[in-house]
Structure 1
Amino acid sequence: MKKVENVVCTGCALTCNDIVVILEGNSVIEVWGSCSHGTKRIKELERERLKCSEDDIDTAIEKAVSILASAKKPLIYGFSSSLNRSIEIGLKIAEKVNGVFDSPPSICHIHIPLAKKNEIKNVKLEEVLEKSDFIMYFFANIADTHLRHASRYTIFPRGEVIKSGRESRTVLAIDYFENENMKIAQHRIIVKPGMEIDFLKRLRESISTGKIPSLDELEITLESWAILLDDIKKSTFISAFAGPHILSNIMSREIYRELISLVKAISATGRESSLIPLAEDLNSMGAALIPYKLLGATHAIEFSNGNPIRNPTTTNASSKLLSGEVDAALIVGSDPYVHLPRSIVKRLKEIPIIYVGERKTIVAKISEVNIPTAINGIESGGTIFRIDGEEIELIPFIKPPEGIESEDKVLKKILAKL
């Protein structure tokens, strides 16, 4: 048996790098230190491996190229769990075929351009661990999505400045409903849908002025608000984390703008502050950040004669599928049946689909071409972006099955043949 230490976990976008894997030959026997998400991915993904739809991978690639080359407006979709190299190649494929590039709905789509415009400082998770004494969770439940967030980075560990760990940190959890997150928070606030902006404005004004605002229509008592404000006044470094529950609101962008205003108001009081999105999938951050760096847009990019066009209401995957404009789809490492409304994804049954991915999914069942790839971070290496924008290197520790190549190599072959 062989012990591999300091493995980067690919169970979520936290990419914890303290995992230990026990191998016997080319098989994983045990996983130590990971959460249930990480353990399941490392130990069980092999059982769910996608099978090639053709006799061999090269034949499947040829068929995929034929579909894309004959399409007038193909959709290039997914990449939220892909390597950074794959995302870059995906953009090049979309440009080559005059297609539409899009990724699953993500809080990162909103965060990246607004944080850039408002000059929100990038803060690493390690700095939060070492220095932050007040943690704010907005519209998130890390107990469902980022299981080691509190134990690894934000609440329980002892840091350079926060030497007592949990005893020295205050936690505020805000959401539309009670959740597991609130069990570790001293301050818990339920916000009614439609009251998000009003609530954030009152909290911002209260922090700026030190006074308690009108609490009409808010489900919080005067005493609770006073204690919250007192704890904020005692803090020196406030770290805010924004979750995906906000995406269920049609005003999500406006709510996020107000959240950024709140963080800026905290900084204006002389306290350090940060705002980090709780990216949903392994590389949701990269799937948004790379297009933004290269083309100035996080998602929903349509190419016409090689030129990128972006109008969020008309160039996104949902709009293009609903209008019937896209006549083929290349889906990489994601499942639109999970992310998009049923009324929209049913349109996929009307067009030829190429699915490139590690495991069986719902969309794979209706795909004309299925091309299996090596498992990112386990069988193939590369880089991804963590939730705080830090680039993380994934180092493989086992070999993929014979004939199975990495995701980026498959996409590179498709691009070369177009």
Structure 2
Amino acid sequence: MTMTEQTVPPALSGRQTLPAEERHAAELAFLAAHDDGPRPPGWSLTPRAVVTFVCGSEGRTLELPGPRQAKGGDGPARFVIAPKFVGERSLVERCVVTLAGERGLLLVGEPGTAKSMLSELLAAAVCGTSALTVQGTAGTTEDAFRYGWNYALLLAQGPSRQALVDSPVLSAMRSGRVARIEEITRCLPEVQDALVSILSDRRLSVPELAGTPDALTPAAPGFTVIATANLRDRGVSEMSAALKRRFNFETVVPIADPAAEAALVRGQATAVVRRAGAAFGVDDAVLDALVTVFRDLRSGRSAEGWDVERPGTVMSTAEAVQVAASLGVAAAYLPGGDVLDLMPGHLLGVVRKDDPADHARLLGYWDGPVRRRAEDGSAMWRRLWDLRENLR
């Protein structure tokens, strides 16, 4: 599973990318006016509208009822909500129900399956901001989940509310919003466990401020946490059983439909090349071949049912987007050559980054499915077979 993107060219935004709440501001404003059903405390949209925002309106044109058109201000009275996540709607619905119950949500899956983007979209729709984010690393400390200090003020006046520096999690608790924690299993276990009491007691104490009203911060209604974790990181910093019990786990898997993945790769790559200031000029046939290679190597079986030796690296949709974008940039800025000639080299860069033995596996794929498709008369695969030497 993964997502689609709607981007704003840098000339309009002044930035390379925009957060989801700005990128899709018009849709969020429309959905807030369109659905006036019950909302959990602190939510910007109804749960039903959050699902529609992430999954789209399935091609239907949504229309504001007459009385609510005025409420919508200057925004459009009709809107087709674009899908932003390719996958099972039921997964998104379970995620939304988890958040509505103010329970922690943990999105797990292979790298490149858009866990972070789904987290961002959900946070933007639920509370209007995806910015309250902690990036988990081996160097992340408890301060990122709890609080820190402005040491100049601390030395000048001692512990005080003014000297306290809120973490993104504490800010989310105070305001009743969603805190996001990326790659939680990259954090050391003792750092992760700082979340146990926060998610169970729904409050955070500051012992240094004992005896003052600021010594205890209760979570405002609507506060919850969305975390992500890569399955490839399992065992790096394994979560404790106590922390696992505070989360509902949802697994985000690769896209099942080849056509949907190809369409997504084209859309994402087009957006990247647009941000680079050019038009995307890679043929659909080249993109289809690229996506086919990724899917075959990812699954260990070709579309025809032939066995394929899987490389150790993850052949994710996100990596396919990057290769397609590179081909698009090359077509725009290095004209005169055939971008298909560049594909084997880019694939080798993807495959070989984790295990040198994966080079041989890619060559084996060329000697297997690529050769057999070439022998079956496909001009595209014949050309790719002729480019085998580019893999050395």
Taking structure 1 as the reference length, what is the TM-score of the superposition? 0.29
More helix by share: 2
More strand by share: 1
Bigger RCO (CA 8 Å, 6+ sep) = 1
Taking structure 2 as the reference length, what is the TM-score of the superposition? 0.30
